[in-house]
Structure formats: structure tokens, C-alpha cells
Structure 1
């Protein structure tokens, strides 16, 4: 047998192309640093002492590490309860959002669905007009009686029109021949939706789920307006109260802050930012490979 050796062919770039590529990497890397450095400073400042925050305008690593700011935030069970409530609101809320959004997007993406233009326009109208804050509150609190329940945070925003349209456009980009072949095999609409459409839509489903998750996690105004029971407060409301009460920390008695004394107000604010940001930030690595593809394809096709 004669062995043939296949030579790998690589595209040779001209010096000009290589120079432009280096400039692009430097440009993108510079923007990455601009976005990353403030958060690194916040993390470092949350571990700093009052003296260091006063004397140093900017630093990426504190000379003296103090845990008093986190100790102040976590010394009561409110923070843990707020984190747990936010996890529940976010996880259940994303499931509700995706179920409603996908089941509405699928029929609107089918060309044979009668009246799809009318219903699509009705969805778009909700992006431009709303009843306002007072009617919304009266509907949720007085008509639906959802006040002091998590349903007040889930049902009013069960479908985000923008996210639903992204899913709809992605569904429209799936070849119709797959649906026709499935019908020839005896599949009904439900089976096509669950076994064909959804498995092929992982990129857009992951991306939109992230949008919904961030929205629920950062939910502040609705939680403040509809939730008055402290046992059901989300982390954003708990941290807001902690920041407002930071100025009174010096008057607290019976608590040993150690050698560094009471935590500075600025460090407490930075620590609350870290506590509120890091949990949802940990979700990004798991769906990063789907994120760009899902957003770009879902927003262009259709």
C-alpha cells in the first residue's frame, strides 16, 4: 500500500492583515479591561478597610483584607433568606416565561396559522403602550389578589414581547421540510413542537432564558411594590435595606468587629454589589456557547 501524506494548507496572511488583526485584538482587549476593572475594584474594595478606601483612590488588591463588610451583611438570616427567595423567583419565573413564550411563538411562526399577523401586531402593541403603574397595581393587588405572593412577580411579565419575537423568528428559520416529514410520520403539532422544534432551538432558548433570569434576579421595583412580607423579600430588597441601615451600624452594641472596627459604608455598598451580582454571573459560563448564536440568528431571520 502506498501511503500518501496530506499536507495541511494554512492561509498565509500578509503583514498588513496581521497588523490589522493585532490592532483588533488590542481594541477588543482594551474594551474588555474597561468593563472588567470597575468590577475588580468593587470586589477589592469590599475587602478593604476604611483607611485604605480613604487613602487610595483606585486599587485592584487591598493591602489589608477585612471581612467585616461581608460579616455585617451576613450576620443576620435576612441575606440568606433573600438569596433563597431570589433563587426561587428566578428559577420558577424562567420556567413560566419560557413555557408561555415558546407556546405563543410557535403558532405565530407557522405560515399556515390563520390570524398570525393580527396576533403578532397585538403583541407588538404591548411593547409600545401599557396601562401604567397604578392600573397595573390595582389589577395585581385588588383584582387578582396576588399581593405578597411570588405570583405577583411571575404572572404580569409571563411573556416579554421582545423575547417572544426573538424565539418566533428563530422558529421561522427552521426548515419547514422537517415539519412536513414529521407529519408524514404521524406526528401531531405537540409532538413536532416538543421533539423537533425545541431540540433544534437550544441556542435561542438558552439566550432568552438568560435574559429572563437576569430580569428576575434584578427585579427590584415590582418586588418593592407587591411584596411587603419580610419572609418573601428578594435579595435586592434586603440589600437595599442593609445599605440604608449602614449609617446606624456604629450604634449597635454587643457585636465585636475585631481589630478593624466597624465596616465602612463604602465597603458595605461594594459588598452588597458583589453579593447581588456574583450568583447570576455564575450562570453565564454554562450558556456562553449558545448566547451569541441564539441572539444573532433569532434577531435576523424571519
Structure 2
């Protein structure tokens, strides 16, 4: 019986890895994405590869050789962190292009905490990177869909503005759903329909066909719409498809035009219908756009 003695042992590591989730379904997206990284100050672009778990990792990042290939018996001395811009483009048209500015090397997968993003009611270190639905995405019939073509009255399309739909805005069951516009200002927000609730009728009356006394096709839910649009804070690296996500989420509230000649408003109160998409528009606008104004 013979035994083999390894003559050389090579250990490799990864300086940057991330997993991306669909904001609508909270499931990991592991197919159809073109993910690339390059130093924020310029340098070589490196494509990601997909791991068995559906995450995206990088090998051969510019300036990260000491992390990826430490010397024998040496865990390696991490270099001074460098900012990399990671671009995520969906080749299937499901998601809006996203750019992340990430300090590299990272420990574990990139989270909201690594990017300095807020986590809301969830600790940011537990939140993965979410992708927002693109207006070209197809949605099943059991979801509510709110669309808009956002236009800045002075600067053209309100590119990469954020639209938020608050369901039951003045009640105890408030829920928040958001979407980000693409480069043309088109935005979509999709979410599950709220629960049906009963509507009281006259004593002894027979409710019409439908759920809890209201025909299903006639059901609506109160909602409030807000738009965050602040081009002055957007940081868009050269030759990349979108501003960095942290600046997209840092935009301040914009003013909305319910009518073309009326006053600018902080929000719009609308009704989300069952069974059909809600298209937000400024009344009297000939092109059915929603006019917004940056702060």
C-alpha cells in the first residue's frame, strides 16, 4: 500500500460575495443576472460566478490577491478596504438595474449593514440585498399592481425615483410597499391584495353576490402614494446602469401633482382596485404621466 504526500497546498478565499433576493417574493435570485464588480476609483472589471447556494462570488478582484491567495500558513493580512461598485443587471427583464458600493474585503455575504443601509424593524445585518421589480415584469393575477410614469416637470423622466404605496394609511394595519423607477421613469409596485372585510348593509337586506357583501370585482382598498425623488443626491458611477443603491434610498420626498394646474401635494390618496392595475397619473396630463417635483 502506498501513500501520497501533498507537495503543495493552495488555499483560496473570496473577498466579496453577495446574495440577492426578489423584494416581492423574498426568494433568492440565482439565475439570469449579470453581476460584475470594479474598483470605484477605476480599474479592472470582474464578473461574478454563481455558487451552489445561489450566491454570487468573485475571484480575481483587482487589488485583492493577498486576500484570495494568502501565503502558506498565513491567513493573509487584509488590505485596507477599497470601495467596489457592483452592478446587477437582469437579463430577463424582471428587475430594475442595481448598483452597490461595497467596501471590500467583506466578512460573509453583503447585507444592508455592510452597505450602511437602514433595516427598519429588522436588524440591517440580517437583511440581504433586494431587487426591485422592473416595469417589464409580468405579474400573476392574484397580486395588486400599481404603475406610474414619473416625470419631473423640469428635467424629464424622474429616473430611479422611489414610489411607495401605503395600504390602510390611517388605520392599524398599515403596510408599506415600494418600487424604484428605471432610467425612463417607469415604475411598478406589486403586492398581495389585502384581506377582504365585511361591509355593513341595511338591516334585513340581502348582500349582493361577492365576498362579505361586496362583489369581488368592485372591491377597493384605501392607499396613500408617496414619491422620493431627489436627483441631487444620486451618485451614478460612470458607465454603470444605475446610481448606487444607498443614494437611491437616501432621496427626499418629492411633491406630486394631482392635477396639472393644481397645487403640489406631499402625497396622493387613491383606491387600489381588485382585478385590474392602478395607473397613477396627473389629471389633465395628455400623456397619462404622474408629474413630480424634486425638493
**Which of these two proteins has the greater Rg computed from alpha carbons?**
1
Which is bigger in relative contact order (C-alpha 8 A, separation at least 6)?
1
Instruction: Considering fraction of residues, name the structure with more helix.
Output: 1
Q: TM-score range by the shorter chain?
A: under 0.3
TM-score (norm 1): 0.22
